Amino acid sequence: MQHIKVYNLGPVKEIELDVKRTGLIIGEQALGKSTIAKAIYFSRGIKNIVMGYFFQIVDMSVPQEEATMEALNHQVELRMIQEFQALFGYFPQTQHNLCIQYQFSNSAEVTFRVSERAGKVEVCMSFSDDLKVRLSQVLSYAVKNCVQEDKEGSVEELRRLRRELRSAIRGRTNLSFDDMMDTYYIPAGRSMVTLLSNNRSVLQDSFDSITRRYVGLIESIQHFYQSGLGMVGELSKAKGEDLFDRERVVSWIRRMLKADYFYQPNQEYLILEENGTSIPVPFASSGQQEILWVLNLLYLMMLRHERAFIILEEPEVHLYPSLQDELMRFLLFFQNCTGSVVLLTTHSPYVLTSINSFYCAGGLIERYMTNPKAEAKWREKVVALLEYDSTLLPSQFYAIKLRPDGSTCNLILDDIKEIETEQIDEISDKINLRYERLYEMELTESIGSVADNEEKTEL
């Protein structure tokens, strides 16, 4: 199980989390939901930076005397400072005693620390001992197998050899970190990104780094949708046998969108299911714009059998409660198909209630884990009820609420195996109390008016 510790990062003073297969964070604005999500994204991004250094050795044929672990540490440290500023908006040196520690496994851990020594601020990036040994082995492999420019053979052959070496290095680096997943951050404000579909590249400088990467991801996969959802599998060269009923899932996505999506160069449009009308995406409803690329991205990953780490901010935005529930069902189905990890931040009581129902469904299955026959029987019953395998196993789930005083509250009621959904909807009690007091005032006023009228009548 992966694990994160964060100290003195923005509004987050101290937090420690087991990063299980499914996670959910709630809380008021400015308490640190996105900060925690970004800290996880930042930590997991270290793997890609290390991988990038190895690729640099391959592409530039760096000599052995220059390709050292000291050089790797220096490059990673510089890149992490840049990445920190891009994600959090300020230099890490401005916040002393900051620490982010991420454990990929018992033998693979990274630590990013800012401390003060002798009046000087120091930024330090370190790897656990076992991880150092593994990365040193990958470094040696990259240098030893580096393809030289003067090697006999065509340019195409040289490129092929480098591609193969890159692929091998990617696999070895992932194994070093005990983590095979790429990380995708799907930010809030998705409808704005979709709305600016024809101007994304022009406006990228106005976006934060996470949104820029999200935009780049969208643009890299748009062409798979040139013939609509039904042909994505063929155009994307989907891997092997489907893990799901493709036609059924395409129909499901169309129902959620109430349309099919098509892409042509410089033009995106929806064809409405109801009457076949073609609508340019910038003129689609805000809900359609919000959900469009969440569904498209997850569906493509399912076709590719891609196991990923997904961070999704505020999935409820612009969505009617019934569609919020449907999106949660689809997200968990995606997760169970691919074995992915999902982290959600939300303000929505509907999202929390929806997740709770799938959590309870998973509890019915997990209860019989020690009995394979009983488990299979219950799984069949539960999935038939849900229509899709959107179950959420309690042992693989965590849910927390961030409090204004900096503490956290576990939302899971272990004794009854449910989520404490009231924690996100306490405002309803305040609103009801306000209504009751107003009603009492009105009632008192009405009684007083009746009494006054009776007195006048008697006189």
Domain that holds residue 450: 425-459
Q: Examine the fold and report which residue of 157, 180, 203 is the final residue of a domain before the chain moves on.
A: 180
429 domain residue, yes or no: yes
> What is the residue type of 415?
D
SS3 content of the chain, % helix, strand, coil (to 5): 55, 20, 25
223 domain residue, yes or no: no
User: CA dist 146 to 60, 70, 104, 162, Å?
Assistant: 9, 19, 28, 8
Distance CA 18, CA 400 (A): 11
Phi, psi of 65, rounded to the nearest 5 degrees: -70, -20
pTM: 0.92
| pLDDT of 190 | 85
**Residues in CB range of 95: below 8 A, 6 or more apart:** 8, 9, 10, 114
406: left (phi over 0), alpha (psi -120 to 50) or beta: left
| Average pLDDT, consecutive stretches of 10 residues, N- to C-terminus, the chain (459 residues) | 95 96 95 97 97 90 82 93 90 79 98 85 92 96 76 74 92 98 94 68 72 91 94 77 89 97 92 94 93 97 96 96 97 97 96 95 92 92 95 96 93 87 79 86 74 58
Contacts of 148-154 spanning 24+ positions with Cβ under 8 A: 148/61, 149/61
243 domain residue, yes or no: no
**Residues in CB range of 172: below 8 A, 6 or more apart:** 137, 138, 141
**Residues in CB range of 265: below 8 A, 6 or more apart:** none
| pLDDT of 91 | 76
Q: Examine the fold and report which residue of 158, 180, 202 is the final residue of a domain before the chain moves on.
A: 180
| pLDDT of 198 | 59
34 domain residue, yes or no: yes
| pLDDT of 13 | 93
15 domain residue, yes or no: no
- Looking at the DSSP assignment, which residues form a beta bridge with residue 112? 100, 125
171 domain residue, yes or no: yes
Residue 419 contacts residue 23 (beta carbons within 8 Å): no
| pLDDT of 197 | 56
Distance CA 332, CA 388 (A): 9
Name residue, tokens 């393809």.
Answer: 147
Distance CA 192, CA 104 (A): 34
| pLDDT of 192 | 78
| pLDDT of 115 | 85
- For the chain, the domain total comes to 2
| pLDDT of 236 | 74
Q: Examine the fold and report which residue of 153, 180, 207 is the final residue of a domain before the chain moves on.
A: 180
Length in residues, the chain: 459
273 domain residue, yes or no: no
| pLDDT of 451 | 59
**Residues in CB range of 444: below 8 A, 6 or more apart:** none
11-21 burial, b if ≥16 CB within 10 A, otherwise e?
ebeebebebbb
87 domain residue, yes or no: yes
| pLDDT of 201 | 59
Q: Which residue from 339, 316, 353 is spatially nearest to 393, judged by alpha carbons?
A: 339
